[in-house]
Amino acid sequence: TDASNGETRQFDFVVVANRLPVDRVPSEDGEVQWRTSPGGLVTALDPVMAKANGAWIGWAGGPDLDIEPFDNHGTWIVPIPLSEQEIEEYYEGFSNDTLWPLYHDVIAPPSYHREWWEAYVKVNQRFADAAARLAEQGATVWVHDYQLQLVPGMLREVRPDLVIGFFNHIPFPAYGLFSQLPWRTQIIEGLLGADVLGFQRVADAGNFTRAVRRLLSYETKGSSIFRPLDANPERRARSNKPVGATRQVIAKAYPISIDSESYEVLARRPDVQARAKEIREELGNPKTILFGVDRLDYTKGIMHRLKAYGELLAEGRLNVEDVTLVQVASPSRERVETYKALRDEIELTVGRINGDFGSIGHTAINYLHHGYPREEMVALYLAADVVLVTALRDGMNLVAKEYVACRFDNDGVLVLSEFAGASDDLKQALLINPHDIEGTKDAIMRAIEMPKSERSRRMRSLRKRVLENDVVKWSETFLDALQKGYDGKGRQSSE
């Protein structure tokens, strides 16, 4: 066997995600280095990967990259190539311009194109083939997110021996919206290839289960779905499986979290605290710093936030002498038309608010369209008196949890949209409906004026939630559920 080129290597734990856990950094001399990506998923799976004989299948992030698998600190990295056209149709198209808006309550109109769907099927098959090749007998495969919803079904088809988990990082929409999708049945069938389907919220799991009942009439009970062992009626007739035999699929909420401790550790570092002070000074030591940080995405409700803030300034309830808003909008999906339009709209609005209400030395909004290192983000969290999370729809929203994890001083106020999954757990935040501009304005004022004792009481309680339920616990809980009730041939079947 030749292990060096990876042809024959097999693994007992395989992660399948759109992106790899490492980023490609080409240096000047043409050498390519790989750097661990800072994302939450990587941290979450780090302990699992360290213990397991694990592989990670994903895209390296550029067009036509044909890269041999390689070892990265004990994880076998398997890059999946995508052509320029596949990036356009599978990734920017079907994933980010069909599924993303549809799954976020059609805040932006989803586009339905048959070529995009075909590319989605083809690329999902490529990921599934790689997983089928890499997984050893009885291995556990964990598939992630909306870009790869067909992989569980494709994998189950050729490898019924595998334990297959799927986690959806974004919401799962109500049936009234989901039913728009021309390929709704294929998506549901694809997902049902898994043994356990994880969602962010109880409501998401419920929406999925209802879609199964409506589209396929499979029996469901609580979080269990009973899928016929062979859903293909012709093949079922030919097989020797008992009539009516089913495989049990669990669809349940497993709310994701962050590596809470690592945020607190950063926040306690003297250089990060010094930087937080410096940020406040550079902003002119205002009484109140409001802070928002999001990928520049229409789901995050940045326009609603700006509207509320702008009105507070216009009405004189806030004054630029006392308050400033720092808004980091990190660049995202910049080739998708809706994102370009949103950026223009946001930047026009920021310009207007600054022009109308700013004065020399006092800027209403410090708008930053860049990504920042983690240390700088934590310093900003420490400098912020109020963090504004105004998402119109968000699977979880990790920013809310990161802010709380950083505030070991038990200070600061979180204003949190009830449309973010995080609001299920973070009840001591000031919960808002971001569509209700007056309500949002009142919540911002209440946050700014909140007495220290109340701030501290709320933050303590929030911190307890975030520190107890961290991302390692999340992955352990999901993987435990995946192993439980598994009899080696599949989940317990019923008659």
Which are the contacts of 316, defined by CB distance < 8 A and separation ≥ 6? none
Spot the catalytic one: 46, 195, 394, 470. 394
169 in active site:
yes
DSSP element (H, E) containing 147: none
Q: Does 408 bind ligand GDG (CB under 6 A)?
A: no
Query: 455 phi and psi, to 5 degrees?
Result: -55, -45
Residue from the set 262, 273, 319, 330 that interacts with ligand GDG by CB under 6 A? 330
> Which span sits near ligand GDG by CB under 6 A: 259-267, 301-309, 396-404, 432-440?
396-404
Provide the sign of the torsion angle of the four alpha carbons 67, 70, 73, 75, taken in this order: positive
Question: Which helix (DSSP H) or strand (DSSP E) does residue 197 occupy?
Answer: strand 196-199
* Closer CB to ligand GDG, 92 or 394, in the complex: 394
Kindly provide the b/e burial profile for residues 426-441, where b requires at least 16 CB atoms within 10 angstroms of the residue's own CB. bebbbbbebeebeebb
CB of 30 to ligand GDG, least distance (A): 28
Contact 400/416 with Cβ under 8 angstroms? Answer: yes
Give the per-residue contact string, 253-282, with ligand GDG (x = CB under 6 A; - = no): ---x--------------------------
| Sign of CA pseudo-dihedral 268, 329, 351, 312 | negative
Which CB, 175 or 372, lies closer to ligand GDG? 372
Q: Which of 222, 161, 218, 166 is nearest to 196 (CA)?
A: 166
Query: Which is closer to ligand GDG, CB of 98 or CB of 246?
Result: 98
By CB under 6 A, residue 44 contacts ligand GDG: no
Is 402 an interacting residue with respect to ligand GDG (CB under 6 A)? Answer: yes
Query: Which of 162, 328, 364, 386 is close enough to bind ligand GDG by CB under 6 A?
Result: 328
- With CB under 6 A as the contact rule, the residue among 21, 40, 228, 255 that binds ligand GDG is 40
Q: How far is the CB of 381 from ligand GDG (least distance, A)?
A: 9
Write down the residue that tokens 């356990």 correspond to.
196
Rg (CA), the chain: 24
Shortest separation between residue 418's beta carbon and ligand GDG, angstroms: 14
Distance (Å, whole) CA 61 – CA 84: 11
CB of 6 to ligand GDG, least distance (A): 29
Q: Which of 295, 317, 362, 369 binds ligand GDG (CB under 6 A)?
A: 295
Least Å distance, CB 93 to ligand GDG, is: 18
The single residue among 324, 397, 423, 440 that binds ligand GDG, judged by CB under 6 A, is 397
CA distance 467 to 302: 28
The residues near 217 (Cβ < 8 Å, ≥ 6 apart) are none
Tell me if 213 contacts ligand GDG by CB under 6 A.
Answer: no
396 touches ligand GDG (CB under 6 A) = yes
What is the C-alpha separation between 113 and 492, in angstroms, rounded?
39
Say if strands 413-417 and 323-330 run parallel, antiparallel, or are unpaired: unpaired
How far, rounded to the nearest angstrom, does the alpha carbon of residue 304 sit from its chain's CA centroid?
21
* Catalytic annotation present for 356: no
Active-site residue (options: 144, 169, 294, 297): 169
Q: Which of residues 142-181 bind ligand GDG (CB under 6 A)?
A: 169-170
Exactly one of 164, 399, 432, 462 binds ligand GDG (CB under 6 A); which one?
A: 399
Q: Which are the catalytic amino acids?
A: 169, 394
